Structure 1
Amino acid sequence: MTGMRWPLVPLGEVAPLVRRPLVVEPEGKYREIGIRSHGKGVFHKLPVSGLELGDKRVYRICPGDLLFNIVFAWEGAVALAGVGEEGMIGSHRFLTCVVDRERADASFLRHFFTTPTGLAHLLASSPGGAGRNRTLGLAGLSRIPVPLPPLDDQRRIVARLDAVSARLKACAETTERQEAELAAMLQQAFARITAGSPRARMADVAPLVRRPIEVEPDGQYPELGIRSFGRGPFHKPSLSGLDAGSKRLFRIEPGDLVFNIVFAWEGAVAIARPEDAGRVGSHRFLTCVADQTRVSAEILRFWFLSREGLAALGQASPGGAGRNRTLGLDALSRIEVPIPSLDAQAWFEALHARASNLRALHAAAADDAAALVPAMLHQTFSPAAC
């Protein structure tokens, strides 16, 4: 069917807007829906009482409704109500279109609105600025032209897309389970090599090393950032010398164990990679250099991201939450870290490297999988077909 041009009909002709206003009882209990952007479906908000809803206008949702969040429809806040949405409500910001089942398949229309063509129509029908200033107009929505191949063909297309999505979901769940098993295995292995091992202060095995640089007004200084929760380093845009002003900058070298002192307590710890060479950090980024004759940076990084290590960083970061918790230089230097034997360290690092390679394969497969359904949608709803 993708080689043929499908007829186009206004959405309002096959899926008109239907409103089911609900009278709110003060003693009643109600549960509202929400719609995630980017075609990620419906979610359920916490139950509220009629008193909490007050004079808010709400409407009943029914299974099979084609749903649009008028504020974020332009970025794919489109979904299909299922049996789980029976009895739920939505505010005036949620439009419910009831599909004529003799002419159109609701899932087919939902898929269309997640394609670049469908999103472009929703964007054009949502005048205004970005974010909450862009609102989908009711009249504009009803006029959007939607492709309408024969109903049997619509159902076949939906069945094929849903089957692929189901397989991808099953694969993602398997990968998630494997990732959890990998993490547990590494934690157990690390616990074995560090059990009973001697301890040493950071100052003795991985002292702080500062490499201040002289900032030139016409220079460019690419910065390095560290994500929280052990998610590694990332590259910030370059900072010009003029923008840097009196800001102190320090050179970061590959192999450095880097701490973001503002968020170290939540795992903003990483090892600088070869591709991070030449990057700089402000005074908020501490670089420690491990004495390789005693302990590797990877062993230290793994420990600092363990429950015990994070607790130690938390104790060394006094203050309140967020930016009020700052890792102290002296406190970091006094933290005592486990020092397993070099043979045990080498064994663990080899194990960790194999796990990292497996995770890289998982990530590549996930990227390929994430591109599969959009590619199928593009092929199905290509301009030649629509």
Structure 2
Amino acid sequence: MPRFPLVPLGELITYAPDPHEVDPDSKYPIAGVYGFGRGMIQRAAVAGGEIAAAQLFRIRAGQFIYSRLKSFEGAYSIVSPEVDGYFVSNEFPTFDIDRERIEPAFLGWYFKQHCVWQQLASDGRGIGARRERLHPKRLFDHAIPVPTLEEQRRVIARLELAAAAVANRKVGADAAETEISATLRAAFARIISDATRARMGDVAPLIRRPVDIDPDAKYPELGVRSFGKGTFHKAPLAGIDVGTKKLFYVAAGDLLFNIVFAWEGAVAVAAESDAGRVGSHRFLTRVVDPDRSTADFLRYWFLSEEGLLALNRASPGGAGRNRTLGIKALEAIQVPTPSLDAQQWFDDVQARARAARRAQADAAADLDRLLPAMLHEVFGE
């Protein structure tokens, strides 16, 4: 049973459009609603002569508003003071709230729940996920739990306190990431400042491990994400579907390049969990000479500003899939080769940085689960 009595929204909110004819000589500050319960969008003023619609609708702080088109992805909000007096199109129905029965902030928190968006979207009208529109009548029929105003205020205070903790934690995480990145950059700059250089082809030659294709076998593929975001696992490829494509095995410790997107940082080091997976000829597996360098050190350099510039120069073409990293051009790149002790020291610094980032990510994930859990506790059955 619900914790609080259920009341149809039609008893709590009133449709309150405030239409204004568009004057070509006037300017209109425009508002919108973010998806996923993230509040209001504040846009710059637009000249009336640039607006196709004949009418716009003024909104006021404290009203309830949603996007007909994006309701399925949580585009509901309470109008914030920052957009008081702004204008929206007729795709944004606006409602006055009966404050003798419900606090606007309480209603706002209720509509931050994914399960509510899904429930209302299940009766939406339209074709395709991004064309479903929620009619106000369907909204009015939707019943929500409504405690006393005193209890609502207690709930709001708890949720806002938790939200503030999450926001502060994210600010702290951003500051920590900035510090970690700056520490790595400073340490790296110090050890390569007077380092000798050597050809990439000599330091980390290309090693191919061809796969003998069995039509009845399956081959788990490996991918490399852009922007230094590591590897990812693809679904197994059936041998019968390989056709004329050549596949090559990956080994742990390989320095990997996706030749199509190397110019935007598709560089990674294969982990133990990647070993035995396969990639096409578009994935270069380079084995670093252990007497000269380390894979982690070279990966960091190739993802640095200097390294990415070198990869861009070695990847001729326009953009996207037309920018293919040349194998000979990659081998000709002069990479820094400070002493092996210095590189291993930096790899240790990188390992500690990764551990700190994992701890930050775990803490952030715990906090990300906090608000949904609290919302379920308040509004769930």
Query: What TM-score bracket applies, with the shorter chain setting the length?
Result: over 0.9
Match of 2:256 in 1: 258
Q: What residue number does 1:45 align with?
A: 43
3-state DSSP class of the match of 1:157?
A: helix
For the 8 Å contact 2:2–2:145, the answer to whether it is kept is: no
Could you tell me which residue of structure 2 aligns to residue 68 of structure 1?
Answer: 66
* Cα separation, 1, equivalents of 2:281 and 2:327: 11
2:366 maps to: 368
Shift of 1:40: 1.9
1:133 is aligned to 131
Structure 2 SS opposite 1:120: helix
The answer to whether structure 1 residue 169 and structure 2 residue 167 are counterparts is yes
Deviation at residue 309 of structure 1 after TM alignment: 0.3
Does residue 344 (structure 1) correspond to residue 342 (structure 2)? The answer is yes
User: Is 1:119 aligned to 2:108, yes or no?
Assistant: no
Deviation at 1:57, TM superposition (A): 4.2
One-letter amino acid matched to 1:280: V
Segment of structure 1 superposing worse, 307-316 or 117-126: 117-126
Residue of structure 2 in register with 1:144 after alignment = 142
**CA–CA separation in structure 1 for the residues paired with 2:235 and 2:20:** 51
Q: CA RMSD in A?
A: 1.6
Which whole-Å CA distance do the structure 1 matches of 2:45 and 2:170 have between them?
Answer: 30
Q: Deviations over 1:234-260 (max 9, x none)?
A: 112222223332222211111111111
More moved, 125-134 vs 158-167:
125-134
Q: Which amino acid aligns with 1:234?
A: F
SS at match of 2:221: strand
Question: Residue 297 of structure 2: SS of its match in structure 1?
Answer: helix
Q: Take 1:255 and 1:288, find their aligned partners in 2: how far apart are those partners?
A: 9
Specify the code of the residue in structure 1 equivalent to 2:276: G
Q: Secondary structure at the match of 1:125?
A: coil
The question of 1:9 aligning with 2:19 is answered no
**1:125·1:137 contact (CA, 8 Å) conserved in 2?**
no
Counterpart residue number, 2:229: 231
Q: Percent identity?
A: 47
Q: 2:27 aligns with which of 15, 26, 29?
A: 29
What is the TM-score normalised by the length of structure 1? 0.94
CA distance in 1, matches of 2:105, 2:123: 21
Correspondence for 2:204: 206
* 8 Å Cα contact 1:18-1:98 kept in structure 2: yes
Q: Distance in 1 between matches of 2:2 and 2:40?
A: 33
Residue 106 to residue 207, structure 1, CA distance change in 2 (3 Å): same
Task: Report how far residue 118 of structure 1 moved.
Answer: 1.9
Q: Which runs of 5+ in 2 are unaligned?
A: none
Shift of 1:46: 4.4
Tell me how far apart the structure 2 counterparts of residues 210 and 97 of structure 1 sit (CA, whole Å).
65
Change (3 A) 1:74 1:193: same
Q: Which amino acid aligns with 1:181?
A: E
Tell me, in whole angstroms, the C-alpha distance in 2 between the residues paired with 1:66 and 1:244. 55
Aligned length: 381
Distance across 2 between alignment mates of 1:306 and 1:22: 53
Indicate the residue corresponding to 1:105 in structure 2: 103
Q: Shift of the alpha carbon at 1:108? A: 1.2
Partner of 2:154: 156
**Matching residue of 2:216:** 218
| Partner Cα distance (1:48, 1:246) in 2 | 56
Quote the Cα distance in structure 2 between the aligned partners of 1:169 and 1:255: 38
Deviation at 1:97, TM superposition (A): 1.9
SS of 1:247 mapped into structure 2: coil
Residue from 276, 295, 303 that aligns with 1:297: 295
Q: Which moved more, 1:346-355 or 1:35-44?
A: 35-44
Cα shift at 1:5: 3.1
In the alignment, the residues of structure 1 paired with residue 239 and residue 19 of structure 2 have an alpha-carbon distance, to the nearest angstrom, of 60
Q: Is the 8 A contact 1:164 1:373 kept in 2?
A: yes
Query: What SS class does the counterpart of residue 93 from structure 2 fall into?
Result: strand
Is 1:319 the counterpart of 2:320? The answer is no
- Change in 2 beyond 3 A, CA 1:211/1:107: same
Aligned residue for 2:222, secondary structure, equals strand
**Most deviating of 36-45 and 363-372:** 36-45
Deviations 1:186-210 (A, max 9, x none): 0010000000100001100001111
How far the C-alpha of 1:56 sits from its partner, in A, is 5.5
Matching of residue 377 in structure 1 with residue 375 in structure 2: yes
- Aligned equivalents of 1:157, 1:56: Cα separation in 2: 42
Paired residue secondary structure (1:368):
helix
Shift of 1:119: 2.3
Matches of 2:32 and 2:214, distance apart in 1:
51
CA distance in 1, matches of 2:149, 2:123: 26
CA displacement at 1:115 relative to structure 2: 2.4
Alpha-carbon contact 2:77-2:111 (below 8 Å) kept: no
Provide the rounded CA distance (Å) in 2 between the counterparts of 1:185 and 1:268.
Answer: 23
CA contact (8 A) 1:121 1:144 kept: no
Q: Which runs of 5+ in 1 are unaligned?
A: none
Q: Secondary structure at the match of 1:142?
A: helix
State how far apart, in whole Å, the 1-side matches of 2:136 and 2:209 are.
60
The offset of 1:92, in angstroms, is: 1.8
Q: Distance in 2 between matches of 1:370 and 1:350?
A: 30
- TM-score normalised to structure 2 length: 0.96
**Contact 1:125–1:141 (Cα < 8 Å) also in 2:** no
Match 2:184 to one of 186, 194, 205: 186
Q: CA deviation at 1:117?
A: 4.3
